[in-house]
Every structure is written in C-alpha cells, then in structure tokens.
C-alpha cells in the first residue's frame, strides 16, 4: 500500500501531549477567571455565511479569510471561517438580542482562522479568549475599569512574570488633535508616534514635520504628551493642567481618571497599570478606553492582551445601538512565545497521578484503580505484558508522580507498595495512604 | 447604512447562554472522566491538507467534506475541514510516533464538519468526544474491557436515565460466516439482520433467503444467534456450546468473555451492558470488540457512544502496525436529543453565584466582589444606573441564586444584606456568611 506522508500544515499549532497539558492549564486559568467575573460562555460556529462574516471586513484581513467550499448539500452558498470572535458576537447579539439579558457579559474561547504569511510566531489557526460586555443604548464606564482587574487576576495566576496593563482613552488624543486643528491627520500622527520606540524621537519629529507638515509648536505639544514619564496620577494631573478647551479631550481625561479609580478599588496595584496615551491598536474601532498588556521583561512579544471600548457593536446587523467594552487574549501566539522565551516550561507536566503496576495478576488492580478514581484521583493501570522496568519507565516518561505496585507479596499481605517516582521512596500503603500521598503533593 | 440580515447557517448549533452553560457542564463531565482514566489531551487543527485527510475516505463521507479555499498566502494548496477526529489521530501518531509513549492514551474533544443533508438532529458542525488507546504492534485486550467502564462512569454521572452498553466481537459473526461458507455475504447478512427491529423477523428471513440465497438451515443458525435473549453469561455459554470449529469464532468468544470479565471487575453492573452480536457499525473498520450505547427509554435517539477495536490505525501513513481501541461520543447530536426529549433541561442554569447590587455608591461593592472572588465565588457587580427592581430582575433572569444589597444602612451598620433569590429570604450577613450560604447550596 502506498503511504501518504503524514504532515501538519504550517501555521497550525499542534502540540505534544506534555505541551498540550500546559496549554490546557493556561486555558483553564483564563476560563475560570472569566467565569469568576460573571461572564457567560458562548460557542458560536467556526463557519458562517460570507455575507454575514464579511459585512464590514476590509484590507489585509479580507485577503486572509479562508473560504469554505460547499459540502454535498450546500451548493451555491458562500461560507467562510471566522477570522475573529467579535464579528460572530455582533451577529449573535443582533440575532438573539431579545432573548438576552443586558448588559450582556459573554466569554468565548475558540479558534479563529487567518491565512497570514507564514512566519515564526504567526498562526493561521489560533485561539482567541475574549470577554465583552454589551449594553443596550448605554453601558456604565465601571465596566471599563473592571476588565483590567480580570486581566490582572489572570496574568498574576499564570505566574509568567511582571506585566503592565497600558491604558488610555482615545478621546484624549482625538480632543487634542481637534484642539490643534489636526483631526484630519490624527491617524497618521498616531501611527508615527507609535514608531517612537523603534526609530527614536528625532526621526518621529522629522516625519511629523516633513511628511505631515505639523508645526514645530504642535509637534512639541504632541510629543510632550506621548513621551510623558510620570506616575498615573501625575499624568492625569498634567492633562488637567494643560487647560485644553475641548469637550472630547476633557471627557477623555475624566473617563480615564474614573477608570483608574475603579481599577484601584478592584485591587489592581499601581505597578501593574500605566497610562500610555499613544496606544494605536484598533484606531478605526475603539472609541474610548483602550488597553494593551506587556510582559515587562519580554516587551518584544508585543501586547499579550488588548481591547477597548466601542460605540456600537452590531451596526452592520441591527438598528439597536449596542456599546461595549472587551478584551482579548491571543492564546496560541502567547503560548508559543511563552515557550520560545522559556517563560514557562512543559517538561514536567502530567494529568495522571497514579500508575497502578501489576506484577502478574491484573484483576486485583482494577478494583484499586476504581477506588482511587472514586476519590477523584486520575489513575491508570498498566495492562501490557512486559518487564517491570518498562512499566516504571512508562510512568517516568509520562511524569506520573506515583506508582502503585501490586504483586504476590502485596496481595498476600493485604497492602500496596507506593513508590514516589520523584524521590524513589517506597512505602507500604493502604488505599487511603495513596489518596493522602497524592493529595499532599498537589 | 444598509443592514445585513444576521443569521446562523442551518446545521450549525448555536445556543443561548443558559443552554450553553448546560452544554459546557456535560462536556466538562466527559472531559473529567477521560482524564480520570489517564487519557492525555490533544488538540489537532480543524484544517488539514486534503492529501492527508482524504487518504482513505470514500463514499458518502467524501461528498460531505468541506473544502477550504486558500488564504492570501496559500495559493495552490488543497485544504479541508476534518470530518472526524480519528483520521487526524492516525496522522498524529504516524508523524510524532517516536516522541510518544505507547500505549498512547489520548482524548480529544473538538469540532468536526460534514456537509450532510440538513435535517432535524443532524449537524454539519459537531463536537466529537473521543478516547483511543494505541499500541505499537500489539495492545492488551484489557483496554477493550476498560473503555466501557469510562462510558459507564460518564453516563451515570450525567444522570440521563438508564442506559445499556451493547457489546460484541466482530470475530464471532465473521467466524460463524466462515464456518457456514458465507464470508462473501457477511456484510449483506449483517446489514439485513440490523433491520430486525424495524421490519421484523419474517421479512429479514425472506430477504436472506430470496436476495442472498441463504439456506433455511443457515438462516436458522444465524437468526438464533441474532435474536438470542439471555443473560451475558448465558450467551457466552451458548456460543461455547455451539461447538463451531472455527478459530476466528473461538477467539471472538474468548475475547468477548474476557472483556466482560474486565468490565465486571471494573464495577460495571450487569444491567448496564448486554452482549449484542448484531452490531453493524463500522463494518469496514472495527475488527474485534465493538460497542454501542443506548438510552433504555429513548432508543430512538440511536447509539449515544460507539466504538471498537481496530487492527491498524495509521496504515495510510506508516509502516508501523498500530492497533487500537476507542470510543466516541457525538456530543452535539446527543445534547440536541437530550433537550428535544426533555431528558435534560436548561431552564435554571447559572454560573454566577452572587450579584452585588449597589443602592447608590458603587465603590464599596468592588472590594466585596474581589473578596468573594478570592474565595472562589463567581460574582458580578451590577453597574448600570437603574431602578432597584431592574437590578433584581437582572439576577432573576440569569438565575443568579444570591443577591447582596449594599446601601446606606448596610454601609453605616457595617453589614451586607444577603437575599436568597429562590426563597426571597433576606438576612444581615458578613463576607463569610455570604461565602457559607453560597457554598451550602452547591
């Protein structure tokens, strides 16, 4: 029989079991925190009609969409794979709005697809972990202050080092540009400022002057804000003292101040958030609060959790105004980067806690395994007929922390031999001793 | 702005939040049991190269495959969506075999896609929950006896009524047909017998006689086995007493007897499994033990968990012989049928345990919410500025069991008002009282 070369598509993450265990653990931490803050689970289809999914898409993203050709009974229908979880959410609230309770808090952890140019750290199939709160007509600003608390809890529990939630409000720069008469050029200016870290202050100023014809005085005002290094409270104070007579600006500063206050009241430490007025992500999309999150010692990874406030989620599908605020963790890329930068390690992962090893008779092991499982212990019996050495080696390779040996001596003496695979220590044990030993190391 | 009609494709399940909560609960019960038996998580891509995925497919399934057209940088590559989780597993073990530990026990819970004719209870995107144990060259028969124990634990815990795991061994009928000189007609005969419940004994016998030219005596022998009503032990006894001199038959009977013994030793009660020699599922695929599972009071739903033993998983991709045994739960269809037959109900589901309701000041509620979350309570603060009545109504609509009211009296008196939404009872409470009340109803 001619063999087909087994392979996995590039850009599609596929993990070995010990890595998958770690991935699932991180996913589960994220999910638990989403639920702790009262977000409801959703699981919309990965395939949608192209008309619905591509209602608003454009540019690079549209080119990257995967189109799905019909199954046997779908002739003529145009389908595609979702490229994020936000558009399906917009469809969902427009479609089921009258059966939902608002504010509608939902989380979704699922795969999305983009046919991006293959390169290291970029994935064509990737998990998004999203939370959004959607209001009907209006939505309290308190939600904007609560989301960073969710981020803070997740990244603290993941224990992946120091992180800072960067926060801003789009209205501040928008108001400033209105005030300076530069609103037409605002996107250009923000995108230029965004290069600050890469190309340095002088080049940024040169581009602003030569390419976008901004006056020296205006550049000074803008750059002063963009490069402001001060505590969160000092930045708010500074913004207030600028005395800029523009209602958008003033509103932005007020909102940012309130959001910071809510973050503090929720217990987010000052060192874990920083006002950063130059966040450019989602310029066409976010209208108020915006977030990005960086690992202090691995800034090159980029933002590991981003989001913000938007005015109207489902404007493509519904006449109802639905403002919202949300954040998203790109888990596949994050996980890849955490491993690549050795911030986490998948070497010693295991789900199974006990391997029961029969010396000869298997039957007496079955009841023991059931008894351990009934006490919520993940347990497996080694069934293959092979040398004792190979059975222990199986446990070792899988990082299973305990082996229980069941031989003639044990059966005659009415006990089990419990072997701690880390220390090598062997003890006579009852079922309860085994349970206690396993629970003690967790 | 022209609106686009929001819609979800037919055949793609999309649930309301209270239904999704129930779905996730069932999924989680399945996953927990898979892990309790030492299965390792896998999460292979939903998109694979067509060459790999369609290596062995044929017939109706091939017509139903969804083809994926290229993203911007995939020109020329042929891709498709997986139509099950078994073919990706075969690819996986062939590709990573030398990095895996055998026997390789994996579970995967993920979506698969088939463009089937749309009809009630059929889905084009559906969750499969699969476990398989894969051996190198050989695999102990004990695994065949262990899988029904996993099934038994899952369906007992799901509490969806009486169920019976039907079990057989392909070698028995195969050996019988060899013995009768009918091996060429075996598939035809089995498919005919399978219609027994629908069309009755007489019609089955007529088809066997007229269409397949089976002799009256042979029909008698076959039908006697197919319609045998007796206890599991009696059926084994009967098979042994038939004195059929065929090694395949004898081996099948021996294996079935051993598998039943392992099931009993694992604690599967006699009433939850039944030898049924006529299981026809996967005729081209399964070679030994086969399973199907039925709800006693809802047999029309069909098998809710099926599987079996196969000789060589990855024969398309690898020269290595990898026998295996596995079972699969079609969760999407099962869930749909459980709801449709009112075997489960999604009316009163909730994940959030406490809604904190501010009477005027919100800030004092934030610390309380954090304190409750730190004690592993899912908790949400009602932020919108609306009437008290509406805040309680939000909790009611979401089935949130407890509301904590925080007003001037509470702040002045240094207590919280805890309202049990089910009984309507209101009590003065401390943080610890709230925690205790919530944990008491769980």
What distance in Å separates residue B36's CA from the closest CA in chain A?
4
**pLDDT interval class at A365 (50, 70, 90):** very high
B16's CB contacts (< 8 A; 6+ apart) are: A96, A99, A100, B346
Give the pair of three-digit tokens for residue A84: 């994020």
For residue B158, pLDDT over 70 is answered with yes
Measured distance CA(A137)–CA(A135) in Å, rounded: 6
CB contact under 8 A, A4 and B65: no
Is-contact B261 B140, C-beta < 8 A?
no
Q: What was the pLDDT predicted at A120? A: 82
Q: DSSP of B28-40, one letter per residue?
A: HHHHHHHHHTTPE
- In angstroms, the first-to-last Cα distance of chain A is 49
C-alpha triplet A284, A285, A286: angle, nearest 5°: 115
Residues 6 or more apart whose CB falls under 8 angstroms from that of B291 comprise B147, B148, B151, B165, B166, B167, B279, B305, B306, B307, B308, B327
For B1, which of A77, A135, A315 is closest by C-beta distance? A315
Q: Choose among B46, B103, B140: nearest Cβ to A111.
A: B46
Is A384 within 8 Å of B135 when comparing Cβ atoms?
A: yes
With beta carbons less than 8 A apart as the criterion, state whether A117 and A124 touch: no
**What percent of chain B lies above the pLDDT cut of 90?**
85
Looking at the partner chain, which of A13, A71, A135 has a beta carbon nearest the beta carbon of B64?
A71
Are the beta carbons of B47 and B74 closer than 8 angstroms? no
Q: Which residues contact A101 (CB under 8 A, 6 or more apart)?
A: B394, B397, B398
Main-chain dihedrals φ then ψ at residue A48, nearest 5 degrees: -135, 165
Q: Looking at beta carbons, which residues of chain B come within 8 Å of A101?
A: 394, 397-398
Residues A352, B37: Cα–Cα separation, whole Å: 8
Collapse the DSSP code of B417 into the 3-class scheme (helix H, G, I; strand E, B; otherwise coil) and give the result.
strand
**At residue B182, does pLDDT exceed 90?**
yes
Q: Take residue A414 and report the two structure tokens written for it.
A: 């009415």
Looking at residue A226, its pLDDT comes to: 87
Among the partner residues A9, A49, A55, nearest to B79 by beta-carbon distance: A9
As a whole number, mean pLDDT of residues A355-373 equals: 96
Q: How many residues are there in chain A?
A: 442
Partners of residue B104 on adjacent β-strands: B134
Q: Residue A4: which of B51, B116, B385 has the nearest Cβ?
A: B51
pLDDT above 70 for B71? no
Nearest to B378 among A35, A63, A135 (CB): A35
pLDDT at B264 over 80: yes
The mean pLDDT value for A418-431 works out to 97
Which of B314, B363, B383 to mutate against chain A (most A CBs within 10 Å)?
B383
Residues of B in contact with A153 (CB under 8 A): 373
For residue A18, give the chain B residue with the closest CA: B40
Closest approach of chain B CAs to the CA of A112, in angstroms? 10
Which alpha helices (DSSP H) does A37-116 contain, by range? 50-53, 59-64, 86-96
Q: Name the average pLDDT for chain A.
A: 94
Q: List CB contacts of B440: < 8 A, sequence separation 6 or more.
A: none
Chain B positions touching A15 (Cβ under 8 A) are 42-43
- Cβ burial B379-393 (10 Å sphere, 16+ → b, else e): bbbbbbeeeeeebbe
Chain B residues with CB under 8 Å of A315 CB are 1
Return the number of CB contacts < 8 Å for A and B.
306
CA B152 to chain centre: 12
Mean pLDDT of A378-396: 97
Interface touch A370/B149, C-beta < 8 Å: yes
Confidence band (pLDDT; 50, 70, 90) for B76?
low
Which pLDDT value is given to residue B184? 92
The two three-digit tokens of residue A25, written as one number = 């653990």
Can you tell me whether residue A427 is helix, strand or coil?
strand
3-class SS of residue A47: strand
pLDDT recorded at residue B89: 98
Shortest CB distance from B66 goes to which of A55, A68, A262?
A68
Q: Which residue has the higher pLDDT, A441 or A212?
A: A212
Check B118 against A73: CB less than 8 A apart. Answer: yes
Average pLDDT over residues B220-247: 93
Q: What is the mean pLDDT of chain B?
A: 94
Residue A282 pLDDT class (50, 70, 90 cuts): confident
Facing residue for B38 by CB, picked from A36, A44, A378: A378
Q: Do A44 and B8 touch (CB under 8 A)?
A: yes
Q: Does the structure show a pLDDT above 70 at B246?
A: yes
pLDDT of residue B117: 81
pLDDT score recorded for residue A442 = 65
Which pLDDT score, from 0 to 100, does residue A57 have? 80
Q: Which chain A residues have a beta carbon less than 8 Å from that of B12?
A: 45, 47
Contact A44 B105 (CB under 8 A): no
A241 is written with which tokens? 């003292």
* Predicted local distance difference test score (pLDDT) of residue A196: 84
pLDDT exceeds cutoff 70 at A74: no
- Tell me which of B5, B17, B70, B157 to substitute to probe the interface with A (most A C-beta atoms closer than 10 Å): B17
What is the H or E stretch that residue A129 is in?
strand A125-134
* C-alpha torsion B434→B435→B437→B442, nearest 10: 150
Residue A202 predicted with pLDDT over 70: yes
d(CA A327, CA B432): 31
d(C-alpha B109, C-alpha B46), whole Å: 12
Residue A58, pLDDT above cutoff 80:
no
Going from the C-alpha of B2 to that of each of A51, A178, B5, the distances in angstroms are 13, 30, 10
Span B30-37, average pLDDT: 98
For residue B347, the model assigns a pLDDT of 85
Strand runs labelled E in A219-339: 273-275, 289-295, 306-310, 324-330
**pLDDT tier at A195 (50, 70, 90 boundaries)?**
confident
Chain A: residue nearest B98 by CA? Answer: A16
Comparing A324-338, B7-21, B45-59, B347-361, the range with the smallest average pLDDT is: B45-59
Res B60: pLDDT: 81
Which chain B residues contact residue A70 at CB under 8 A? 66, 115
Q: How far, in Å, CA of B404 to CA of A104, rounded?
A: 20
Task: Read off the pLDDT of each residue in A266-277 and give the average, rounded to a whole number.
Answer: 96
CB neighbours of residue B101 within 10 Å: 16
Say yes or no to pLDDT of B58 above 80. no
In chain A, how many H helices and how many E strands? Answer: 17, 16
Lowest mean pLDDT among A381-395, A399-413, B76-90: B76-90
- Closest chain B residue to A138, measured at CA: B384
Q: Quick one: pLDDT at residue B196?
A: 84
Measured CA to CA, the distance from residue A388 to residue A405 in angstroms comes to 10
Q: Tell me how close the Cα of A364 comes to any Cα of chain B, in angstroms.
A: 8
Mean pLDDT of B248-275: 97
B10 phi and psi angles, rounded to 5 deg:
-70, 140
In this prediction the pTM is: 0.96
Q: What pLDDT sits at residue B228? A: 87
The pLDDT of A144-158, averaged and rounded, is 98
Q: Which residue has tokens 């008002």? A: B417
pLDDT band at residue B75, thresholds of 50, 70 and 90?
low
Q: Which residues of A fall within a CB distance of 8 Å from B86?
A: none
Sign, CA torsion A355/A361/A366/A367:
negative
Identify the CA nearest to A356 among candidates A332, A329, A377: A377
Q: For residue B17, list chain A residues with Cβ-Cβ distance below 8 A.
A: 40-42, 100, 106
Give residue B72's pLDDT: 61
* Residue that the structure tokens 């239904």 belong to: B19
User: pLDDT value at position B74?
Assistant: 62
């Amino acid at each position: 029989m001619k063999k087909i070369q087994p392979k996995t598509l590039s850009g599609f993450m596929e993990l070995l079991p010990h890595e998958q265990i770690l991935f699932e653990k991180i996913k589960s931490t994220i999910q638990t925190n989403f639920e702790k803050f009262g977000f409801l689970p959703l699981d919309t289809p990965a395939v949608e009609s192209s008309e619905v999914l591509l209602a608003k898409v454009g540019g690079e993203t549209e080119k990257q969409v995967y189109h799905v050709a019909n199954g046997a009974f779908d002739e003529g229908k145009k389908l595609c794979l979702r490229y994020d979880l936000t558009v399906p959410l917009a469809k969902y609230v427009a479609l089921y709005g009258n059966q939902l309770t608002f504010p509608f808090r939902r989380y979704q952890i699922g795969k999305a697809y983009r046919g991006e140019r293959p390169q290291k750290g970029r994935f064509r199939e990737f998990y998004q972990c999203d939370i959004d709160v959607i209001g009907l007509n209006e939505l309290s600003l308190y939600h904007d202050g609560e989301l960073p608390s969710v981020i803070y809890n997740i990244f603290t529990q993941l224990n992946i080092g120091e992180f800072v939630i960067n926060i801003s409000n789009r209205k501040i720069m928008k108001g400033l540009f209105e005030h300076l008469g530069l609103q037409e050029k605002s996107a250009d200016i923000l995108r230029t400022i965004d290069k600050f870290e890469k190309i340095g202050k002088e080049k940024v100023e040169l581009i602003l002057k030569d390419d976008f014809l901004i006056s020296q005085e205006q550049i000074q005002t803008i750059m002063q804000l963009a490069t402001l290094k001060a505590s969160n409270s000092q930045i708010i104070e500074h913004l207030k003292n600028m005395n800029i007579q523009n209602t958008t600006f003033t509103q932005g500063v007020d909102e940012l101040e309130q959001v910071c206050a809510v973050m503090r009241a929720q217990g987010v430490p000052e060192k874990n958030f920083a006002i950063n007025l130059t966040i450019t992500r989602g310029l066409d999309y976010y209208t108020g609060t915006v977030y990005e999150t960086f690992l202090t010692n691995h800034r090159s990874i980029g933002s590991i959790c981003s989001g913000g406030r938007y005015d109207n989620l489902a404007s493509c599908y519904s006449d109802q105004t639905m403002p919202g605020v949300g954040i998203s963790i790109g888990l596949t890329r994050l996980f890849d980067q955490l491993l690549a930068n050795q911030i986490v390690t998948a070497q010693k992962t295991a789900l199974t806690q006990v391997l029961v090893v029969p010396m000869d008779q298997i039957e007496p092991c079955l009841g023991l395994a059931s008894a351990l499982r009934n006490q919520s212990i993940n347990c497996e019996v080694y069934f293959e007929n092979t040398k004792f050495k190979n059975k222990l080696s199986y446990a070792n390779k899988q990082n299973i922390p305990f082996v229980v040996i069941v031989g003639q001596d044990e059966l005659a003496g009415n006990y089990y031999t419990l072997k701690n695979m880390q220390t090598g220590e062997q003890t006579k044990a009852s079922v309860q001793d085994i349970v206690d030993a396993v629970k003690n190391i967790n």
